[in-house]
Structure 1
């Protein structure tokens, strides 16, 4: 075949030209600035967090400052851009974003996106920087996009030992596998680094802040593991009973709960428990989280109670029974001081005020409403889009079919979204609209 039969172009060149795709990175800074100028304030804040180059373009164009000043002027407030620092502007924008986050969870419409992400039941999830990591069940962890729900990567276990817990950051995945800590590289050559077998007794939970992972064990101890030397560097006796959940702050404060119902504190400079928060006598502690912005610790119990302590005074601020059954998981945005999301065995997603413990919203999925997303899926099937509905205080939970409220085994909170896993094949992302 000669060139004339292909419209005057060699076949190979035509084939290559059809594969060429233009990405957004091909657009100039001026064009991107023009596109960003059509966004509202909150969407512009989100764009500034997408990547470093977008952040630079938005900062240099002063779009955030201009939009914020315009909004303040329309609301009757005053904000003098010439005398206000960038730090002050960022604080104003952060408060605006947190207010929008809370209001959407309190009143906004809710869509639930679900897909079959694993071959068997999965009951763990983590969400960071627009990514979701799920696992525990079928010997593999999968990394998903929180925007289009596509599988971006997967990490297989090195042997038949069970995966107990995991976490991840921009460069690695860290997992508690049997009686070892394993590390998977996310970038470059795929390697699995593993500690020696039997460095600790049966581990029940794990958290880490680079370079150390902390494992809560069945014998009541917390074991510190250095991920670079691959050795157990410290053992701290925290409880008389099993350590069931952990929290780890950036300044190396360890908070852990026990099946006996107590919460204890220590830090990496000590080899023993340094403080114990008063037991609530409300069942064993099943889950907890620590808010570094407000110095508050929240714990969920097997009896359905959520408790809150202030670490600055070591006082109990509130203790509220929010569910008749076990609380499995709770989480909040890192910089959010207002909203705590709680899930448990009854399958109801609850939203609490961090200051008072008041439940201000309850949600379940509406099983009868369903549609198929247009987003293409590879080997993991299609995405179903369902509606969620809010429940009133007097709603009889036991009369709602369990298909609409499978137990929430784990949850993670992002900006105006919550990802949940239910010890089944489905992964669900709840999106709360303004």
Structure 2
């Protein structure tokens, strides 16, 4: 019996040793020590993880202390933030957007670059920590922005050229030649052509499930249903070749043309809702983005102008020349109503005030590579610093190698991804600490 009991006890001890301590086993004192190392932004996230974390952070008034620290650092948070009684009184979304803006304007800039394609890459799309790159060679690649590992690769059909693409949680949608192609995220591909004779050369595409909209060279916008695999509608914008598109959640979409016009269309109607045109010769529209919360649209042109359009009044609010050259891409966070970022042929990233069009800050890369890392997947990461340049500095006096042209921008919280129409992708991270 003794031996059996000893064996049982030994087995029990072994079983207990195999059980790893979990985060739930940490008491309030240990949690407090851990939480004290976090900034306000991370603390707010922790309050919604579980009730016990919420209670620890509220009881020990860590949020108030972090708010006071942020206030002393000169943040533009409202003064009421410094007297909060608990996390429930924080407008998390408003705080996140202000924290994001402050990081862009004041944070330390760190840049990580890697060779994403063997030929060139001119476009990128980012969602939920994943980055899709392509256009230039015959593949699209899906990357993890945490590890820089290529998660999946999607080959193009036949000899057709990839023109534009987008993705969601389950599929990749691409404009390939004169066809729409769908890649399931498991690698399987399906292709469906448009109705015969109705699909001229496509120049751009945007996708929100279940529809993709293609902007065509003949000035038409063609709406494709992903499930019936047919072209469900043709809208004639009469504004010249469509060079860029932006879709809204209520199915209204905006198209920019090479003639400098912005067309507002509704798939329920055969004719455009409105056509907006600049009062000055600003050039053809190269990029367009839409702010769902404010009903404002922003466009960038071949002449270096950025314009703001109010879709409630169907009129222009402001128009500023922010660059001496083409503006290829404008992006903003989904719920940000304060700033956006623009990039173009001169290779300068610009932070622009959404309300006035004023350029708040300008960034370029430093020439020196500070560190080179090789990931397990053999991707070589170059680390550089970014730097801000004054408004009066002449760009022609800055070497081109530290400001390669920016062909596309993808936007995340306190980070910006840029494609440069070359082999490399750059991730700009903005840190306040």
Q: Does the residue aligned with 2:50 lie in a helix, a strand or coil?
A: helix
8 A contact 2:113–2:383 mirrored in 1: yes
Structure 1 residue 179, shift from structure 2 partner: 0.7
Once structures 1 and 2 are overlaid, which stretch shifts more, 364-373 or 390-399? 364-373
2:307 matched to which residue of 1?
307
Whether 2:194 is the aligned partner of 1:193: answer no
Deviations 1:374-425 (A, max 9, x none): x52424x310000111111111101111111111000111001000011110
Aligned CA distance change for structure 1 residues 295 and 59 (closer, same or farther; 3 Å): farther
1:92-171 pair list within 5 angstroms: 92-171=91-170
8 A contact 1:239–1:264 mirrored in 2: no
Structure 1 residue 94, shift from structure 2 partner: 1.4
2:371 matched to which residue of 1?
371
Whether 2:226 is the aligned partner of 1:227: answer yes
2:320 matched to which residue of 1?
320
Q: Does the residue aligned with 1:195 lie in a helix, a strand or coil?
A: strand
1:173 matched to which residue of 2?
172
1:413 matched to which residue of 2?
411
CA distance in 2: counterparts of 1:383 and 1:319, whole angstroms: 39
Deviations 1:181-229 (A, max 9, x none): 1111114xx3212112665111100111100000000000000000011
Q: Does the residue aligned with 2:401 lie in a helix, a strand or coil?
A: helix
CA distance in 2: counterparts of 1:181 and 1:63, whole angstroms: 52
Q: Does the residue aligned with 2:157 lie in a helix, a strand or coil?
A: coil
2:391 matched to which residue of 1?
393
Structure 1 residue 130, shift from structure 2 partner: 1.0
Query: Across the two proteins, how many residue pairs are aligned to each other?
Result: 395
Deviations 1:4-61 (A, max 9, x none): xxxxxxxxxxxxxxxxxx9x9x94544599667353331244578xxxxxx6536874
| Structure 1: gaps (5+ residues) | 1-21, 49-54
1:402 matched to which residue of 2?
400
- Greater gyration radius: 2
1:355 matched to which residue of 2?
355
Q: Does the residue aligned with 1:133 lie in a helix, a strand or coil?
A: strand
Whether 2:259 is the aligned partner of 1:243: answer no
- When normalised by structure 2's length, the TM-score is 0.85
Q: Does the residue aligned with 2:318 lie in a helix, a strand or coil?
A: strand
Aligned CA distance change for structure 1 residues 211 and 93 (closer, same or farther; 3 Å): same
CA distance in 2: counterparts of 1:64 and 1:275, whole angstroms: 51
Q: Does the residue aligned with 2:98 lie in a helix, a strand or coil?
A: helix
Aligned CA distance change for structure 1 residues 258 and 32 (closer, same or farther; 3 Å): farther
| Structure 2: gaps (5+ residues) | 1-17, 72-78
- How big is the alpha-carbon RMSD for the aligned residues of Structure 1 and Structure 2? 2.4
CA distance in 1: counterparts of 2:66 and 2:312, whole angstroms: 37
Deviations 1:324-368 (A, max 9, x none): 111111100001111110000011111100000000101111112
Structure 1 residue 64, shift from structure 2 partner: 6.6
Deviations 1:241-287 (A, max 9, x none): 10000000111011110000010101121111011123243110011
Structure 1 residue 127, shift from structure 2 partner: 0.9
CA distance in 2: counterparts of 1:67 and 1:128, whole angstroms: 31
CA distance in 1: counterparts of 2:147 and 2:53, whole angstroms: 30
- When normalised by structure 1's length, the TM-score is 0.85
CA distance in 1: counterparts of 2:393 and 2:51, whole angstroms: 46
8 A contact 1:123–1:421 mirrored in 2: yes
8 A contact 1:365–1:387 mirrored in 2: yes
2:14 matched to which residue of 1?
none
